[in-house]
Amino acid sequence: MRQETKDMTNGQPLPLIIGFAVPMLISSIFQQLYSAVDTLIVSRYLGSNALAGVGATGMLTFLLLSLALGMGNGGGLIIAQCFGNHDKKKMWQTIVAMTWLMAVLAVVLSVCGYLLCEPILRMLKVPVEVLPYSVSYLKIIFAFTGGMVIYNWASSILRSVGDSKTPLYALIAASFINIGLDLLLIIKFDLGVRGAAIATVFSQFISGFICLFVLLRTRDEYGFDKRALFPDAHNMWLVVKTSIPSTFQSCMISIGGISVQRLINSFGADVMAGYTAASKVDSLAIQVILAVGNALCVFTGQNIGAGKVDRVKVALKKSQVVMLISACIIAVCAYVFRFNIMELFIDPEDSMLALEAGAQYLSIVGVAYLICAVMQSYQNVIRGAGDVNTCMVAGLTELAGKVFFAYLLSPFIGATGIWLSTPLSWGCGCVIPVVRYYSGKWQYKKLIE
């Protein structure tokens, strides 16, 4: 497999951004579809208690992923700026620091997660009948955290230099392996949720090793120096400092999500079912906006590193046009076909209330994508420039708005208030990055000298 780096400091901005975004979009869509198939296998062959047991691990696995993603994204921002500045020495120093930090992270997460998962699950009041499933699943996931950490470490480095295809190929290969192993270990060898966990960690190692193989083959492009395999304190602190904001933000989002979910649960099973189905559609539909936003972030990082701020400003305007057009198309489809979409998940004869709740959610959130497009465009420029603290504050503002408006409005207008909290919170999240962008201060937050 050949690495395809992409220098975004020269050429027309929009084709570069779209070309980089498309593989990430396919990857995200594929991941969402794979997740649905994985859930279906567990549900169909192991029953509702097993499915509930695996589902109960969601918060802990999301926190685990947040830590790995946060560290990877932090190091990736620095590497993108080094790549744009053609500073291979600094790039290699960052990779070394990032490697050691993530290796330590993998060991700590494995040991602590394995030992503490059961007490934490009990603290979260996981029902007794599903607790054994949750514990069995999580102990394997935590014991072999290394695969996920390797993938996030390697894919972050690859994407920072413009290679979004290798992580895509790795993810596709791992997804097929995961599904195949799910069927083999659960049906043939009767390993239950342990089979699902083994399939997950094995596929994570496969995806990680594919990305690692490409990195090793092209190590000279990163300034490889076998005499510099140990990190210095300055570069380690730079990676940590850059990683903390996004990591903290992701962890807080997880906690905030639990709070809103509890509120949704209070409206009964029908509203819960409608929300669950609609949120799966939502997570798929929003990927276009997120992919273009992430590509804009890498573009910004490389061009800030090269000192080409004017290209970033041009890229922002053109990316916004693409994101807003996409948001309009999604909004129209979500509104016009909301009932048809929901009928794919919910039988009207089984629960018309659930179908209506999900359709209402889709119509409201669909229109809100216009706000999301604006928020994502400005926020990813700010993030790519290295102004990560501003992004963290914006993200926490969005989260606070989500919880505040959901609890404020729902007593008066029911579940509709929870659905409305999404566009209102995105509006809150828009304000800070927009103000920050037009202040011009983000231009001076470069992470490298």
pLDDT tens digits for 191-229?
888 998 899 899 989 999 999 999 988 888 888 888 888
Given this model, what pLDDT does residue 321 score?
A: 93
Given this model, what pLDDT does residue 28 score?
A: 76
Given this model, what pLDDT does residue 320 score?
A: 92
Q: Of 397, 375, 384, nearest to 323 (Cα)?
A: 375
pLDDT tops 60 at residue 3: no
pLDDT tops 80 at residue 424: yes
Confidence of residue 1 (pLDDT cuts 50, 70, 90): low
pLDDT tops 70 at residue 53: no
Given this model, what pLDDT does residue 124 score?
A: 64
Ramachandran class of 440: left when φ > 0, alpha when ψ lies in -120 to 50, beta otherwise? left
Share of the chain above pLDDT 90, in %: 19
pTM of this prediction?
Answer: 0.75
Q: Of 287, 250, 238, 268, nearest to 395 (Cα)?
A: 250
CA distances 121 to 27, 124, 196, 258, Å, are 31, 5, 19, 14
Q: What is the mean pLDDT of residues 231-242?
A: 88
Q: What is the mean pLDDT of residues 279-308?
A: 85
Given this model, what pLDDT does residue 209 score?
A: 95
What confidence tens digit (pLDDT) does each residue in 349-408 have? 767 787 888 889 888 988 889 998 999 899 989 988 888 888 888 888 888 888 899 999
For residues 318 and 265, the model is more confident at: 318
For residues 241 and 1, the model is more confident at: 241
Average pLDDT, the chain: 83
Question: What is d(CA 316, CA 323) in angstroms, rounded to the nearest whole number?
Answer: 10
Question: What is d(CA 211, CA 294) in angstroms, rounded to the nearest whole number?
Answer: 19
Q: What is the mean pLDDT of residues 89-99?
A: 91
